[in-house]
Chains A and B, each alone.
Chain A
């Protein structure tokens, strides 16, 4: 599989995972991982139970173990809809894109950001553009790759019952890191 396709598929799968609404959607998202990653996925005996764990970490209604919003990690005081969410909104606007959730879901939700990254990478793989590359680099280096490792560390620290949660958090960290390291590609 081409490197860019592999990356796009990984980003899409991670995006769908972190915004999933139930166990079936979690399972489907994992099923869309590229084969090499999928083969490493830990067994999930009960997707309902994984869903409970997922909600404990990322959805609620209890206090989230690891909120999937950039501004929780990047604001001087953790909050949603902080400056980082507005930065993400401006990045999307620059791309000519917007969140379909308007202001109801903070723009810096992990899944929205992964989608933006996937689109930028896709654009660059087809049409090299210095300004777009600059924007992508800024987004990855100054934003995604700053908070996603903090997020993944939080997931590891709180130790989910279901290893799939940790696996996907690690995967998202690795994926963002690898885009960051591949500066120059595209």
Chain B
């Protein structure tokens, strides 16, 4: 019925648009009706349509996705009508993913958080609307009372994560917190620390070839990555390579859509990717296919690696470990070594293991020993951050107020020297554990660009910790499972309502994001929210916050540009980006000069740095941790969301209306489960109730549930995940190892 309704009589409306009744209304005595009403007189300016139809603005998707698409947003009459990919970016090339096209649904979702709200009783659902002034007052009062009672602000914690990857969002809230004093920060990354460290040990940096260069590859291994879902724009370069004759192999325990599109698919047992890479390396040695010239000129420790392979690794051993037949391992290894150039794209799945960093080092070694590092169409691709050299203003420029007391790191404090204070840093991958043992206690937590309740493991413990806080402030666009526990929620803007600038951790493009519509309801950008806090802090207690108090979001964005960014991207000012996105002027081939950033300046098969951090110097294999329950649980990314974002939108729900656990037919049979049954997935940490889907896309020992946040649904995979950490991550992430979230175990039963 709703769909059948036509618009209001449009010819009448356009007729009326040319008239104004205001004189009639006032002359006729209706002036009194205006008094005390809501609507106000307006100088009649005719219809407010944009002349010539929609106006296009430059935008960028900032949802922490490989693709970080440069977009064009079309606005008419102040309303965002539709979006598309920007053709000026050869990476985006005019397309977006299904999530990207749904952006107007996100902006205009009736579900958005609209006003600052205060919850009366944590988790009760009893919310009061409050003004921004009242919200900021309550927040500042609490901060000042913590400072007064504790003598410092270590009881105030910040969890700002990557839900909104605009550069100012990466910098402003931390800037505010530094401006307040020394505080506690949840740090580390849920994404890539183990593999990131591995690449730092091997190469001295994490840099990848331009993904557009995948088109030049002769052989591609997609290792633990599912770009058909998570980086659709990269798929076209993979297809281009295929059209030129390249073979594409997918290695994944799950038969993903990417796997289905590849020439060959290998499904190793969970957590055995390192053994597979090493088995391949051994076979390459045996065939004499190692590129000895390249390793002699460019690498350190190849003889030791060779010795390790000859003593400890055989193809047969790799076959037993991985479950992949020895002939297959040998054949793939030979093909990889002979194809020039060959490349491996290492996904973020296989390193989320207790042996994940080592697995990445083993794959790096495989690529390096075949002489594919520093080659067009080659490389061990993981990610890059060289395009991210912004100012991170004001985070980088803030100092705590004079006299602030902070955390004293015993490892850094030298006896007899003046006390050195710093922020206290806690690992977000073990947030519940870290909160429980934190001394001094965390009393107040500010969460922004993040939904920890749906993203962090050990959720039941997390909830207990959150419930013990004096105050939880959540800044978000939607009412997530974290917001449910908040005392105060503050509505924040979407990218269409604020200025931003964006780069990817994968491709080399830089795009500006213009504000193209006014913020809906009372949403404010993080820049503005931070300034409001600073202003009020200083009103209540002069000098209590050094953060800016009066800078527009656009000016804040401009301040993040510097000469490095200008030079790298061949621009003279940020304003050049108003013409369209630009690509870094850099060799698309990483390590082409053979100069590495390791201590030796060479590619390091043998890494003293790795040993310094407690790992074997060589990429040796280590088995994953033993099962503590019947099934392995995998919780990868879904096609219809980015972590816990997008899934709540109506267009996504059309495709993906409810959560499921995917279970192999043999396992389902043994548990008397058929598709559509409600089942309980449980372990010693918690449980989830979810509908079963029987599919042989997942192995027999595995249960798969996509990470998600569905609106009005209690489903949460984090209920059954513990906080085990990966082997690596401590080197580049302030001592904080990555999560081992793909190495989890549970059982299942029919409800």
Contacts and interface: CB of A to CB of B under 8 A. Distances in A.
Interface of A: 8, 12, 15, 19, 21-22, 48-49, 51-52, 55-56, 59-64, 67, 69, 72-83, 85-87, 89-100, 102-106, 111-112, 115-116, 118-119, 122-123, 126-127, 129, 131-132, 134-135, 138-139, 142-143, 146, 150
B631 to A, nearest CB: 33
B437 interface: no
A87 B16 CA distance: 11
B27 A127 contact: yes
B128 A76 contact: no
A92 B39 contact: yes
Contact of A115 (B16, B20, B39, B109): B39
Given A8-B33, A96-B25, A143-B8, A91 B13 contact: yes
B82 to A, nearest CB: 13
Given A94-B20, A97-B42, A123-B24, 14 more contacts: A12-B36, A64-B111, A78-B650, A81-B520, A83-B7, A87-B13, A93-B17, A93-B48, A95-B21, A97-B39, A104-B522, A123-B21, A138-B8, A142-B8
A-B pairs, top 4 by smallest CB distance, nearest first, are A96-B22, A127-B28, A122-B33, A98-B42
A100 B39 contact: yes
A93 B47 contact: yes
Contact of A56 (B37, B110, B125, B522): B125
A6 to B, nearest CB: 15
Contact of A15 (B5, B38, B42): B38
A139 B12 CA distance: 10
A146 B5 contact: yes
B114 A61 contact: yes
Contacts, number: 214
Nearest to A127: B28
Q: Describe B's contact surface by its main secondary structure.
A: loop
Interface residues of B, number: 72
Contact of A119 (B13, B19, B34, B650): B34
A143 B40 CA distance: 21
Nearest to A53: B126
B21 A129 contact: yes
Interface in B513-537: 517-522
B479 A61 contact: yes
A159 to B, nearest CB: 15
Contacts of A73: 2
B41 A118 contact: no
Nearest to B32: A122
A94 B17 contact: yes
25 contacts: A8-B33, A12-B37, A52-B120, A52-B128, A59-B114, A59-B117, A59-B127, A60-B114, A61-B489, A62-B125, A63-B111, A73-B2, A77-B105, A80-B520, A82-B108, A91-B8, A92-B42, A94-B20, A97-B39, A97-B41, A103-B517, A104-B518, A112-B38, A127-B28, A134-B12
A75 B712 CA distance: 22
Nearest to B119: A61
Given A127-B28, A138-B12, A94 B19 contact: yes
Contacts of B521: 104-105
Nearest to A80: B108
Nearest to B712: A63
Contacts of B3: 76
B113 A61 contact: yes
B128 A22 contact: yes
A98 B40 contact: yes
B25 A123 contact: yes
Nearest to B45: A93
Given A61-B114, A77-B650, A102-B518, A90 B47 contact: yes
Contacts of A12: 36-37
Nearest to A132: B21
A123 B21 CA distance: 9
B127 A61 contact: yes
B38 A122 contact: no
B483 A61 contact: yes
A127 B30 CA distance: 9
A72 B114 CA distance: 15
B16 A131 contact: yes
Contact of A79 (B105, B126, B483): B105
